[in-house]
Homo-oligomer: A and B are copies of this chain.
Amino acid sequence: MLSIQIQPNKTKDYIYRQIYKQLKREILLHHFLPHEKLPSKRELSKSLNVSINSVNSAYQQLLAEGYIYAIERSGFYVEKLDTIPLSFSKAKPLDSELVESQESKKNGISFSHMSADRSVFPFDSWLSCEHKALKSRRTELNDDSTRYPQGIYSVRRTIARLLSITRGVKCFPEQIVLGSGTQILVTLLSHLLPKSSTFAMEDPGYTRIYRLLKAKHADLKTIQLDDKGASIEAIKRANPNVVYVTPSHQFPTGILMPVSRRIQLLNWAAEADNRYIIEDDYDSEFKYKSDTIPSLQGLDSFDKVIYMGTFSKSLLPGLRISYMVLPQQLLKKFREHASFLMQTCNVMAQLTLQEFIDSGEYQKHIKHMKKVYSERRVQLIRELKRRFGESMTIHGANAGLHFIASFQTDKPIDQIMERAEHEKLELYCLKDYYLSEEPASQKPTFILGFANLPVEKIEEGVNRLYRALY
């Protein structure tokens, strides 16, 4: 017979739920035979001393969920459940190799080129823009993200205006597609570009995009750099139809592609219908002395350039708002083939960003950050020169949030990196950014980012670097 325990005082759980739960458990544990008949409602209500209604509710629920079935004028029967070792236990233990360490980063100093400094982020004005946006734009929060696969229109209109003023990008809001990161946009783009495209990327270059395209089994070549950036000769040798470049501040070498090379590149693209240039303008906001050269997109008359940018560098990496500007041909493809994709950017962040830009806070913030970053750059270089003197060479344009520096030392790179870790110094090595092969012999060269390096930590950071190197 059934061993159901009813606790009438247990007010938190209705009686019918107690019956339901215990019967369910018994069934799942195969304590019934398949097709075994359950006691009639009347019988069970008597034996448990509960109302017939409670039993009925329990049976109805078990019926709805498929644990039992009913035969008219006969009664309720236990469903035949295939045997499965049902575990009501906890998850099986996690393999130790999969455990994530929650290490503390106390006293760490970072030369990361990827983070930003939240201590200078204007949270108050960001939040007040959010309040304002949420107040006036609530209806848009309502809409599903299928309605705006490219992102909210008015947000794109604001970005189009900003890009026109700051980067000479010529586009309509219609051409802008938002995405929660450059990787998302490149993935999308790979479906819009001509089928069986061959991609080529600058080498050294952006490994995360390279690995992404590799994982998609894209036909992928690399392009060597000369002192003007991606070499046209190397492009011609690799013979891709899509090149991915970072002309404003080559990642990671920092080379600024001069206008002569830009025009050569545009002319190369214009030579064939299926050729495109992806211009990743990832940190274009930060030029410290030189004026910005107009973007490739702004120079392009043939609709060959896909312009990409992000607010991760200028605001916060965690914002996850990047964008691309599609040539009209590719936009047509998007509308035909990709409009089933949902927009990936958080809507509140989109609306807040729009308010932040429209109210002038964005440009104010950029102006301030330029000052802050320029000062850090100058200080870091000064300190490095003081400490390393002639044994160090710095490369890269006076721009962006990092430069590269190579050092005269006999220590092998692995030892340096190990030592840096011991010193709690986050350090990135240029050789890790070579996409095909790393050059046979190269002086230890590092990517020194200063976005998250407050001025007061520079001396200590350089000291740790010195101890790692010598």
Contact call B80/A317, Cβ cutoff below 8 A? no
Contact A118 B141 (CB under 8 A): yes
Is A11 in the interface zone, CB < 8 Å from B?
no
Whether the Cβ atoms of B290 and A340 lie closer than 8 Å is no
Which one of B65, B83, B121, B134 contacts A291 once the chains associate, using CB atoms below 8 Å?
Answer: B65
Determine if A411 is an interface residue (Cβ-Cβ < 8 Å).
Answer: no
**Nearest-CB residue, chain B, relative to A293:** B65
The reply to whether B170 and A65 contact each other, CB–CB distance below 8 Å, is no
Contacts of A350 in B (CB 8 A): 318
In whole angstroms, how far apart are the Cα atoms of A146 and B181 in the complex? 11
Q: Is A319 an interface residue (CB 8 A)?
A: yes
- Of the stretches A38-46, A235-243, A261-269, A375-383, the one at the interface is A261-269
Pair B259/A170 contact, Cβ less than 8 Å: no
User: Residues of B contacting A258 with CB < 8 Å?
Assistant: 65-67, 79
* Cβ-defined contact, B81 with A144, below 8 A: no
Query: Restricting to A288-310, which residues have a CB under 8 Å from any CB of B?
Result: 289-291, 293, 299, 301, 303
Nearest B residue to A335, CB-CB: B98
Q: Tell whether A410 is near chain B: CB-to-CB under 8 Å.
A: no
- With both beta carbons as reference points, the residue of chain B lying nearest to A350 in the complex is identified as B318
Tell yes or no: A331 within 8 A of B by CB.
yes
A-B contact pairs, 19 of them (CB 8 A): A64-B397, A64-B398, A65-B259, A65-B291, A66-B258, A66-B261, A84-B263, A85-B301, A91-B171, A94-B328, A98-B331, A98-B332, A116-B144, A118-B139, A127-B130, A141-B316, A142-B452, A181-B342, A184-B184
Mark each residue of chain A from 317 to 334: 1 if its CB lies under 8 Å from any CB of chain B, else 0. 111100000001001100
- Point out which of A123, A170, A301, A340 has the most chain B C-beta atoms below 10 A from its C-beta: A340
* Residue numbers in B under 8 Å from A191 (CB-CB): 215
Q: Is the CB of B91 within 8 A of A172?
A: yes
Let me know if A1 is at the binding interface, CB within 8 A: no
**Known interface pairs A82-B264, A114-B146; 10 further A-B residue pairs with C-beta atoms within 8 A, sorted by A's residue number:** A28-B259, A66-B258, A67-B258, A87-B301, A91-B171, A119-B138, A119-B142, A183-B341, A320-B344, A346-B346
In the complex formed, the residue of B with least CB distance to A131 is B127
| Whole-angstrom CA separation of A303 from B94 in the bound complex | 12
| CB–CB A61/B290 < 8 A | yes
A228 CB → nearest B CB, Å: 7
**Does A361 count as interface, using CB distance less than 8 angstroms?**
no
A90 at the interface (CB under 8 A from B): yes
